[in-house]
Amino acid sequence: MSTLSVNTITAETGNTVSVASGKTLNASQGFTPPAGHVIQTVTTGTIARSTISASAWTNTTYTLSITPTSTSSKIFFHWNDHIRVQGTTSEIRSGVRLKRIIGSAETIIWNTGGSVETFQVRNATNEHDTTGYVQVLDSPNTTSAVTYLIQAYMMTGSNIYLFESAYGGNIILQEISG
C-alpha cells in the first residue's frame, strides 16, 4: 500500500473532487467536519411510561447518553412526548425540566428557574392531554459521556404521565461540530 502526502487537494476542473467508482474514502483515522455539521445521532429505543405524583423533581424514564468526539462540539437535544396531567382540583399544574449529567456533575439546562407550571389546566377537574416538546442546543465542553434526563414535578393535581415510546415519545441527541 502506498501513502500519498499532500497539504491540499483541489479539482483539476470545476469544484468537485471525486473518488473512483467502486472505491471509498476511509476517513476513520481523522476527519474534521466543518462547523455545524452532524457528527453522530443517538436515539432512544423503547421507553416505559412514567407516572409522577410527587411534589418534588422526580426522574422519568426519558434519559439518553452521548459521548462527544470533541470538546468544541455542541449537543442538540430534542424531546417530545404525549403528556397527561390529571387531578380533581380546579387547577392542575405540573412541570418538566432537563438535567445534564457528566460524571458526578449534575446541571439543570432547561427550565432552570424551576417552573412547576410548564403544563397546567385551569377550571378542569379531570385530565388534560398535550404534547411536551423541548429543544436545547447544549455546549457540554467534554469528551466524556453526557447523559440527558427529563424530570417531572406534580404541583397540584394527582399525576403527570409521560407516556411510553409507543405513543410517540422519544429523545434524539445529535453531536454538532463546533
CATH number at residue 118: 2.60.120
CA distances (Å), origin 60, targets 65, 97, 127, 132, 174: 14, 10, 20, 13, 21
Q: Is residue 89 part of a domain?
A: yes
In terms of Cα–Cα distance, which of 170, 83, 86 is closest to 135? 170
Joined grid coordinates for residue 48:
416505559
Which amino acid belongs to residue 25? Answer: L
Q: What is the pTM of this model?
A: 0.86
Domain that holds residue 99: 38-176
By the 8 A CB rule, do 154 and 86 touch? Answer: no
Q: Write out the three cell numbers for 142.
A: 467534554
111 φψ region: left (φ > 0), alpha (ψ -120 to 50), beta (else): left
E strands, 47-169, where? 50-52, 58-66, 74-86, 91-102, 105-110, 119-122, 127-138, 146-156, 159-162
Is 46 among the domain residues? yes
Is 144 a domain residue? Answer: yes
Domain tally, the chain:
1
pLDDT tens digits, 119-172: 988 887 788 999 999 999 999 999 999 999 999 999 999 999 999 999 999 999
Query: Could you report the per-residue pLDDT of 90-130, keeping only the tens digit for each?
Result: 889 999 999 999 999 999 999 999 999 999 888 877 889 99
